[in-house]
């Protein structure tokens, strides 16, 4: 990737100077000039220029000609908040370990943080990392786009991973897109399935497409690394037998320009409105349009309470304003994988299923015998949920004494 000013088109209007968040553009003899050491190739100036005088230059790797054989191993980005590792990172290490068996390669964790972050490294080995690329700096204590992007870009260029997996969290989505553009790789966002093509040995990246009506499998045959983001709870985290003894840590010097530090974190404020942590709940009772009335969420809440579970919801109920969006399960809500998922009056459209089909046991309550939810349910209860839910609650209370 590169960038250039087309001098003959530049009208000297200075719009790009104001648009650049990194102060990388200045005027010289009435023409814009870019300081390439400060530029992050974010493209803000390109879209601002009314004269099409700024061009982002992409290096095109021609099909079959790029040297892909030098790219080896599977990397997982380790996301953390003040040193506490996000469970999605362990889930991706577990999945990477499985994929590495097909590729006969190693799994590496990519960890950036301040010096205290080293305390969490043993866990990474126990979830399947063969090695850890570690970069420590006080400025890495919390995630910030520019310094993380620059350092990891340099890591990729130096060590050439074949596959790079990142959690589809707010942080992961922000980072993955930027890394992909820096290293001229493709990126498949929000994958719900990964596998290795047995013949071509490339990564099959599956995700819902066309509003969730089809599952598309996407490949990146000509570019490396093959990059994918995966939503939390799509894969299970499993500790590796006998792992943990190996300690292969590769220290990587941080690459930070002072322009990367223009964003300062002044403080962290917890969103107190989020009272449910659906993704960590072991039991979820979800309500759909079939509960007929918003006040009937009380029944769903009572059943969830006797089971010490959390309340989920379909998008239809969220869109209708019956419950807050924090409870929504599905493609545009949360992906969950509890031990028990009880779907009450939920039809089972694909956009809902992609968010909960990884649950260990699924109980569906629906009065329509042809409802698609029954196709994936472990147990189906054909009936009116307004009768079944209170009956279940009563019975469980009785059994628990
Ligand atoms: C791009 C896109 C993203 C989407 N993302 C999501 C998402 O993240 N999550 C999500 O859930 N949806 C999502 N949707 C919407 C999805 O397609 C469905 O419209 C939605 O899931 C339907 O919700 P529902 O099952 O509650 O309602 P309905 O489809 O209306 O189903 C209600 C069900 O209740 C049953 N029923 C009715 N009365 C009773 C009763 N008394 N007792 C028992 N059963 C009863 C009916 O038989 C029916 O099966 C998305 C759609 C699009 C296009």
Match domain 2-57 to its CATH number in 3.20.20.10, 3.40.190.80, 3.30.70.20, 3.30.70.270: 3.30.70.20
Q: Is 203 in the pocket of ligand 1 (CB under 6 A)?
A: no
- Same fold across 74-261 and 278-400: yes
123 alpha carbon – ligand 1 mean position (Å): 39
pLDDT at 330 over 90: yes
pLDDT on residue 6:
94
Are 192 and 203 in contact by the 8 Å Cβ rule? The answer is: no
**Per-residue pLDDT for 242 more than 80?**
no
- According to CATH, the topology of domain 278-400 is Rossmann fold (3.40.50)
- Bridge pairing between strands 31-34 and 25-28: antiparallel
Cite the annotated binding site by residue number.
Answer: 289, 314-315, 328-332, 345-352, 366
Instruction: Compute how many other C-beta atoms are within 10 angstroms of the C-beta atom of residue 375.
Output: 11
Q: How far apart (Å, rounded) are the C-alpha atoms in residues 294 and 319?
A: 12
Query: Locate tokens 């969006």: which residue?
Result: 325
Q: Which residues contact 53 (CB under 8 A, 6 or more apart)?
A: 5, 6, 7, 9, 10, 11, 32
pLDDT(401) > 80: no
On the question of pLDDT at 176 being above 70, the answer is yes
Task: Judge whether residue 145 has pLDDT over 90.
Answer: yes
Taking residues 12-23, report their average pLDDT: 93
Could you list the residues known to form a binding site for FAD, using ranges.
289, 314-315, 328-332, 345-352, 366
Q: Is the CB of 386 inside a 6 Å radius of any atom of ligand 1?
A: yes
CATH architecture of 74-261: 3-Layer(aba) Sandwich (3.40)
Please choose from 284, 311, 313, 316 the residue to mutate so as to test ligand 1's pocket, defined by most ligand atoms within 8 A of CB.
316
Q: Say if CB 230 and CB 191 are below 8 A apart.
A: yes
- Contact (Cβ atoms closer than 8 angstroms) between residue 316 and residue 332: no
Question: 208 in ligand 1 pocket by Cβ < 6 Å?
Answer: no
* Residues 6+ positions from 55 with CB-CB distance below 8 Å: 3, 4, 6, 46
First to last CA, the chain: 67
Residue 63 above 50 pLDDT? Answer: no
Distance between CA atoms of 374 and 371, rounded to whole angstroms?
6
Q: Which residue has the tokens 């919801």?
A: 313
- Specify the pLDDT at position 99: 97
pLDDT at 113: 95
Measure 349 CA to ligand 1 centroid, in angstroms: 6
Taking only the tens place, the pLDDT of each residue in 278-301 is 888 999 999 999 999 999 999 999
Cα distance between residue 111 and residue 76, in whole Å: 9
Q: How far is CA 305 from the centre of its chain?
A: 30
Q: Is 156 left (phi over 0), alpha (psi -120 to 50) or beta?
A: alpha
Q: Which two tokens stand for residue 11?
A: 């009208």
Q: How confident is the model at residue 274 (pLDDT cuts 50, 70, 90)?
A: low
Portion of the chain with pLDDT greater than 90, in percent = 77
- Among 213, 299, 351, residue to substitute to test ligand 1 (most atoms within 8 Å of Cβ): 351
User: What pLDDT does residue 271 have?
Assistant: 74
Asked if the model's pLDDT at residue 241 lies above 80, the reply is no
User: In the prediction, which pLDDT does 245 show?
Assistant: 57
Query: Domain ranges in the chain?
Result: 2-57, 74-261, 278-400
| From 63-72, 289-298, 354-363, the region with the lowest mean pLDDT | 63-72
Q: Tell me how far the alpha carbon of residue 350 lies from the centroid of ligand 1, in angstroms.
A: 9
Compute CA distances 397 → 40, 223, 273, 338, 365, whole Å. 59, 57, 30, 21, 19
Separation of CA 131 and ligand 1 centre (Å): 44
Mean pLDDT is lowest, of 111-115, 176-180, 205-209, for 205-209
CB distance 371 to ligand 1 below 6 Å: yes
Separation between Cα atoms, residue 205 and residue 23, nearest integer Å:
38
For the whole prediction, is pTM greater than 0.85? no
The residue with greater pLDDT, 51 or 42, is 51
Give the tens place of pLDDT for each residue, 98-115: 999 999 999 999 999 998
Nearest-atom index, ligand 1, CA of 288? 26
- Ligand 1 centroid vs 385 CA: distance in angstroms? 14
Mean pLDDT of 158-162: 97
Closest Cα to atom 36 of ligand 1: 290
Closest CA to 94 of 16, 223, 194: 194
Cα three-residue angle 22-25-30, rounded to 5 degrees = 160
The verdict on the CB of residue 287 being under 6 Å from ligand 1 is no
pLDDT of residue 360: 93
The residues, any chain, with a CB within 8 Å of residue 18's CB and separated by 6 or more, are 48
Q: What is the pLDDT of residue 152?
A: 98
Ligand 1: nearest atom to the Cα of 346: 25
- How many C-beta atoms surround the C-beta of residue 162 within 10 A? 22
- Please state, in angstroms and as integers, the Cα–Cα distance from residue 335 to each residue in 82, 104, 289, 349, following that order: 24, 30, 19, 14
* Phi, psi dihedrals of residue 29, rounded to the nearest 5°: 40, 55
Distance 317 CA to ligand 1 centre (A): 8
Per-residue pLDDT tens over the stretch 360-378: 999 999 999 999 999 999 9
C-alpha to C-alpha distances, 314 to 36, 57, 271, nearest whole angstrom: 48, 44, 22
What percent of the chain has a predicted confidence (pLDDT) above 70?
96
């Amino acid at each position: 990737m590169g960038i250039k000013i087309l001098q003959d088109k530049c009208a000297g209007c200075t719009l790009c100077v104001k648009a650049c968040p990194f102060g990388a553009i200045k005027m010289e003899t009435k023409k814009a000039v870019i300081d390439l050491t400060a530029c992050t190739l974010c493209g803000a100036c390109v879209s601002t220029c009314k004269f099409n005088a700024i061009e982002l230059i992409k290096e095109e790797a021609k099909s079959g000609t790029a040297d892909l054989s030098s790219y080896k191993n599977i990397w997982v980005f380790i996301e953390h908040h003040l040193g506490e590792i996000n469970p999605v990172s362990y889930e991706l290490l577990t999945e990477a370990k499985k994929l590495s068996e097909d590729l006969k390669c190693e799994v590496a964790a990519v960890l950036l943080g301040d010096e205290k972050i080293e305390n969490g490294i043993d866990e990474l080995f126990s979830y399947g990392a063969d090695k850890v690329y570690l970069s420590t700096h006080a400025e890495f204590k919390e995630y910030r786009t520019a310094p993380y992007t620059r350092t990891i870009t340099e890591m990729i260029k130096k060590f050439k991973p074949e596959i790079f997996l990142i959690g589809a969290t707010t942080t992961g989505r922000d980072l993955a897109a930027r890394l992909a553009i820096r290293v001229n790789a493709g990126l498949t966002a929000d994958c719900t399935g990964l596998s290795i093509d047995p013949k071509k040995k490339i990564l099959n990246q599956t995700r819902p497409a066309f509003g969730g009506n089809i599952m598309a499998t996407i490949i990146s045959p000509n570019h490396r690394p093959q990059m994918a983001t995966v939503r939390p709870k799509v894969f299970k985290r499993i500790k590796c037998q006998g792992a943990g003894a190996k300690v292969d840590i590769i220290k990587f010097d941080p690459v930070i320009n002072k322009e990367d530090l223009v964003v300062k974190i002044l403080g962290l404020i917890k969103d107190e409105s989020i009272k449910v942590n659906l993704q960590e709940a072991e039991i979820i009772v979800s309500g759909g349009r079939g509960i007929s009335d918003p006040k009937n969420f009380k029944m769903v809440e009572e059943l969830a309470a006797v089971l010490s579970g959390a309340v989920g919801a379909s998008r239809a109920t969220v869109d209708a304003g019956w419950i807050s969006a924090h409870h929504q399960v599905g493609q545009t809500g949360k992906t969950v994988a509890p031990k028990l998922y009880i779907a009450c009056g939920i039809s089972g459209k694909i956009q809902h299923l992609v968010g909960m089909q990884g649950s260990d046991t699924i109980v569906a309550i629906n009065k329509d015998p042809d409802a698609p939810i029954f196709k994936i349910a472990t147990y189906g209860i054909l009936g009116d949920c307004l009768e079944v839910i209170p009956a279940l609650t009563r019975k469980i209370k009785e059994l628990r004494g």
